[in-house]
Structure 1
């Protein structure tokens, strides 16, 4: 695959950002070449087309041990409260309120037994 170089007349980024982009492109190309070199090496010991990736290994190890390294702080407490406890509590309160309202209508006779949604018949 032929990669084109960035043109000299690129006006949407400044020189510093352009340097970073070129540096990142060079790094990606070097990593790609290293991957292809390892993949096509006929004398490698490991088989099955598997290439050991250190970055992937670190990522998987971090995911497996995330609970051992968890440190509760204000941010995680707030996130747990707003994403877990608050929705469950609000949903339970809304169900209770709706049910009590329906029960009130039934007990005061505003809804006949024939028109109720849930009957014992």
Structure 2
């Protein structure tokens, strides 16, 4: 990082520099290990073990065991699934009701109906 950054306090700059150096160190280690032809050709160690990816995979497998319902987990299915389904169902119900009312009152002749066998 440049030392000419004025809107970040020096403590935060130090933390960012440490994070960047740790990121570069881990990146260089990964590149060194992943491009090692002897490790890749060995049948028992054909992959590069990453503990962070192992933890992530274990977390995704056991995700539902630690699920705790709250307002945030309720909002997504409610607004994405229940509300659109309810609105669509209501609109279809009122549309069909109005059509049936017009058909039964004689405002639409049999010849002008689109679906005659309803």
Q: What TM-score range do you get, normalising by the shorter chain? A: 0.7 to 0.9
1:34-45 alignment, distance < 5 Å? 34-44=29-39, 45=42
Matched residue, 1:30: 25
Structure 1 residue 43: Cα displacement: 4.7
Match of 2:3 in 1: 8
For residue 35 of structure 1, report the CA deviation from its aligned partner.
Answer: 0.7
CA deviation map 1:13-61 (0-9, x unaligned): 33233223212211110111211232244553512xx211111121122
Alignment partners' CA distance in 2, 1:15 and 1:108: 80
Q: Scaled by the length of structure 1, what TM-score is found?
A: 0.74
User: Structure 1 residues 77 and 9, CA, compared in 2 at 3 Å: closer, same or farther?
Assistant: closer
Larger helix proportion, structure 1 or 2? 2
Q: Does 1:83 align with 2:80?
A: yes
Which residue of structure 1 aligns with residue 95 of structure 2? 98
User: Normalising by structure 2, what TM-score?
Assistant: 0.76
* Residues 35 and 86 of structure 1, relative CA distance in 2, 3 Å threshold: same
Alignment of 1:54-65 (within 5 A): 54-65=51-62
Partner of 1:3: none
